[in-house]
């Protein structure tokens, strides 16, 4: 890889019809904004946020059906959380919102030790001592490379609480791969429908069995959008990855994983929601950095670099920890 950053723009279009449903929030609706093209303000909106795209990129490396990493990523370590006693799979550092700092991971038992204590020891964090960022990065890669690639914030309590020890510092590693989907020059597409009830044709809130309880035929409106352009942008910060000083080819591995995630997401389709099924309209355009390799080449590259990174990754197997539900007593 020859550039410090790699940025790709990918034009998209609706796979079905001409409209799409962007990300939205109950109190906000669609995330609209004005984008300037020269001196002209253009109505635009966020189709998929940076946070959501991070989850989608990570999700390409995980097989939900088997609750295991996809074949290409089987040589990379991660923390697998199982229920204490039964061994039932619960969650993992690949699927938790806070990755390695998930409450499930912190409250688990790691071969008889508290999760927080294990993390503090592996990260080598001590009071009144500068944070060893490079050593911490190496330790994170040995636990789960995806947590370093997509970012992790060890926001531990500064005072001990229950079984959790105090964290004398709260190191944060920012994500090195980012993406967002925007739509430019947008127009609302207002439509509607009716929830039909073949038994109770009308609903009166004054009687039992009203529409609030799911009875009756209820009309509704909905707003989707059309756009002159839908654009997905992906960025890989190779400079950040290399700043950690990882030994051997570990940095090359993280860059390759990021490229693999992007290519997998593009090639696999972008069915974001029921009414937001997008497809690639043109080949990815390189705004900066190296061309985006094809998926087969990236499959081989990730496997080769993972095998050559045993110094950092160890045996590359899942680290299984046990979580037991706490007893919660309400007054």
Would you list the DSSP string of 33-72?
Answer: EEEEETTEEEEEEEEE-HHHHHHHHHHTTEETTTTEE-GG
Residue 130's pLDDT band, with cuts at 50, 70 and 90, is: very high
- Predicted local distance difference test score (pLDDT) of residue 202: 65
Only one residue has tokens 């809130």, namely 205
Q: What is the pLDDT of residue 207?
A: 59
- Identify the band that residue 221 occupies on the pLDDT scale cut at 50, 70 and 90: confident
User: What is the pLDDT averaged over residues 39-60?
Assistant: 95
Q: Is residue 228 classed as helix, strand or coil in its secondary structure?
A: strand
Q: For residue 1, is pLDDT > 50?
A: no
Q: According to the model, what pLDDT value does residue 205 have?
A: 56
Of the listed ranges 188-197, 251-260, 289-298, the one predicted with least confidence: 188-197
Segment 159-187 shows an average pLDDT of 93
Between these two residues, 213 and 53, which has the higher pLDDT value? Answer: 53
Q: Cα 322 to chain center, whole Å? A: 24
**Cα–Cα distance measured from residue 163 to residue 176, given in angstroms and rounded to the nearest whole number:** 33
Q: Is the pLDDT of residue 203 over 70?
A: no
Least confident of 53-67, 144-158, 198-212, 231-245: 198-212
For the segment 42-60, the average pLDDT, to the nearest whole number, is: 95
The whole-number pLDDT of residue 199 equals 79
DSSP secondary structure, 147-178, as one string: HHHH-EE----SS-BTTBPP-S---EE--SEE
Q: Is the pLDDT of residue 330 over 70?
A: no
Phi then psi for residue 21, to 5 deg, are: -105, 115
The whole-number average pLDDT for the span 36-53 is 95
For the segment 237-293, what is each residue's pLDDT rounded down to a tens digit? 999 999 999 999 999 999 999 999 999 999 998 999 989 999 999 999 999 999 999
β-bridge pairing 319-323 and 79-83? parallel
Sequence spans of domains, the chain: 5-295+316-323
Residue 112 has pLDDT above 70, yes or no: yes
DSSP labels, 265-331: HHHH-EEEETTEEEEE-SPPEEEESSPPPPHHHHHHHHHHHHHTTHHHHTT---EEEEE-PPP----
196 pLDDT higher than 90: no
DSSP H/E element including 229: strand 218-237
**What per-residue confidence (pLDDT) applies to 331?**
40
Residue of 203 and 169 predicted with greater confidence: 169
Tell me what the pLDDT averaged over the chain comes to: 91
Q: What is the pLDDT of residues 63-88, one digit of tens each?
A: 999 999 999 999 999 999 999 999 99
Identify the band that residue 164 occupies on the pLDDT scale cut at 50, 70 and 90.
confident
């Amino acid at each position: 890889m020859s550039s410090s950053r790699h940025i790709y723009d990918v034009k998209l279009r609706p796979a079905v019809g001409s409209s799409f449903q962007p990300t939205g929030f109950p109190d906000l609706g669609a995330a609209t904004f004005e984008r300037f093209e020269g001196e002209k303000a253009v109505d635009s909106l966020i189709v998929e946020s940076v946070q959501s795209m991070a989850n989608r990129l990570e999700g390409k490396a995980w097989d939900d059906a088997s609750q295991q990493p996809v074949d290409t990523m089987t040589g990379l370590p991660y923390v697998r959380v199982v229920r204490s006693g039964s061994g039932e799979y619960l969650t993992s550092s690949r699927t938790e919102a806070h990755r390695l700092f998930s409450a499930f991971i912190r409250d688990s038992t790691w071969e008889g030790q508290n999760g927080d204590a294990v993390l503090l020891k592996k990260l080598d964090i001590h009071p009144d001592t500068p944070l060893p960022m490079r050593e911490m990065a190496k330790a994170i890669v040995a636990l789960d490379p995806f947590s370093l690639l997509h970012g992790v914030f060890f926001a531990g309590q500064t005072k001990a609480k229950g079984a959790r020890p105090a964290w004398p510092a709260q190191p944060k590693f920012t994500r090195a791969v980012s993406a967002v989907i925007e739509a430019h020059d947008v127009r609302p597409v207002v439509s509607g429908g009716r929830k039909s009830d073949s038994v109770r044709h009308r609903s009166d809130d004054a009687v039992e069995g009203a529409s609030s309880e799911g009875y009756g035929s209820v009309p509704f409106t909905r707003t989707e959008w059309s756009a002159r352009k839908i654009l997905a942008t992906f960025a890989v910060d190779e400079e950040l990855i290399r700043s950690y000083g990882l030994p051997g080819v570990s940095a090359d591995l993280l860059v390759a994983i990021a490229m693999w995630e992007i290519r997998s997401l593009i090639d696999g389709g972008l069915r974001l929601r029921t009414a937001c099924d997008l497809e690639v309209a043109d080949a990815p355009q390189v705004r900066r950095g190296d061309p985006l390799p094809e998926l087969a080449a990236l499959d081989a590259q990730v496997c080769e670099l993972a095998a050559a990174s045993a110094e950092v990754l160890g045996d590359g197997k899942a680290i299984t920890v046990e979580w037991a539900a706490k007893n919660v007593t309400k007054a």
